[in-house]
């Protein structure tokens, strides 16, 4: 997957993609990340990227021209028109659709993504209307810019790409993938201080372990995020378990 990120602060991206899984994914050419400084697409002496809001009011607004030119420059490097037509151009903004595991999965199906990190009071509306194809928010709070949000989205998407995680199986059990939070995990020692690992996990009985984990995931979701269960695919027996737990 190719990822292009437009920002006024390229240095912010120096480290997040240089460690662990992400670093390996880049080295193995499973993903390539290109950071573009929006200022490089200005033409005036002062490299102006923002201006006063038309109609007045506090704060500056990002100008449309450098953002359009940056995206068009990236698109001009793509030879197939069909690829350009389906290329998502995503603005990170608190006004966007809420980011979720489902959205990460949807984005991971594309071969190429462009992200625009907003700053200041906002972005000229013509960028939203005539350039951007999607707007994403990572939560109902306001960051000082879209950069941290872009890092969050890119990280969540990249780990879904084939080959990026060591074991594909670990994806299935992730919190939110199945609509449930993940079950409790333990490692050795079997007894730490006086706290023991649940006996079932040491039993070697894979069917019992799988059943216990599934039940724990349901219990944990019910305790912490009950609203998730409305959308989770549960069998009849599991629905009955939820009903019993709710009553107890």
Task: Based on the shown chain and the rule CB under 6 A, indicate whether residue 143 belongs to the binding site for ligand ADE.
Answer: yes
Q: Which helix (H) or strand (E) holds 90?
A: strand 89-98
Catalytic residue among 4, 119, 135, 159: 159
Asked if 94 is an active-site residue, the reply is yes
Q: Which is nearer to ligand ADE, 59 or 139 (CB)?
A: 139
Torsions phi, psi for 90 (to 5 deg): -110, 125
Task: Based on the shown chain and the rule CB under 6 A, indicate whether residue 94 belongs to the binding site for ligand ADE.
Answer: yes
The residue assigned the tokens 């979701």 is 221
β partners of residue 113: 3
Catalytic residue among 69, 121, 182, 238: 121
State the Cα torsion 78-81-83-86 to the nearest 10°: 130
Query: Both tokens of residue 91?
Result: 């603005």
Q: Which of 132, 149, 154, 157 binds ligand ADE (CB under 6 A)?
A: 149
103 to 122: interface string for ligand ADE, x by CB under 6 A: ---------------x----
Task: Based on the shown chain and the rule CB under 6 A, indicate whether residue 169 belongs to the binding site for ligand ADE.
Answer: no
Q: Which is nearer to ligand ADE, 10 or 145 (CB)?
A: 145
Task: Based on the shown chain and the rule CB under 6 A, indicate whether residue 1 belongs to the binding site for ligand ADE.
Answer: no
Catalytic residue among 65, 134, 173, 174: 174
Asked if 39 is an active-site residue, the reply is no
Q: Rounded to whole angstroms, how far apart are CA atoms 61 and 50?
A: 5
State the Cα torsion 95-101-102-108 to the nearest 10°: 100
β partners of residue 196: 191
Catalytic residues: 94, 121, 159, 174
Site residues, ligand ADE (CB under 6 A): 92-94, 118, 137-139, 141-143, 145-146, 149
């Amino acid at each position: 997957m190719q990822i292009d990120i437009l920002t006024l602060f390229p240095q912010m991206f120096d480290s997040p993609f240089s460690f662990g899984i992400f670093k390996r994914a880049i080295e193995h050419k499973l993903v390539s990340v290109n950071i573009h400084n929006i200022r490089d697409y200005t033409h005036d002496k002062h490299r102006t990227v923002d201006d006063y809001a038309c109609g007045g009011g506090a704060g500056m607004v990002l100008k449309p021209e450098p953002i359009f030119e940056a995206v068009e420059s990236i698109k001009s490097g793509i030879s197939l028109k069909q690829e350009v037509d389906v290329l998502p151009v995503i603005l990170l903004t608190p006004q966007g659709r809420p980011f979720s595991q489902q959205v990460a999965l949807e984005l991971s199906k594309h071969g190429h993504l462009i992200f625009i990190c907003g700053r200041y009071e906002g972005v000229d509306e013509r960028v939203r209307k005539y350039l951007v194809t999607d707007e994403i928010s990572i939560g109902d709070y306001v960051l000082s810019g879209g950069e941290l949000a872009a890092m969050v989205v890119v990280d969540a998407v990249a780990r879904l790409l084939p080959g990026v995680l060591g074991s594909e199986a670990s994806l299935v059990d992730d919190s939110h993938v199945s609509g449930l939070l993940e079950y409790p995990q333990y490692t050795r020692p079997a007894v730490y201080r006086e706290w023991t690992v649940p006996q079932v996990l040491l039993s070697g009985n894979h069917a019992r372990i799988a059943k216990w984990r599934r039940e724990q995931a349901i219990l944990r979701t019910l305790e912490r995020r009950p609203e998730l269960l409305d959308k989770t695919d549960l069998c009849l027996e599991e629905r009955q378990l939820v009903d019993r737990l709710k009553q107890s």
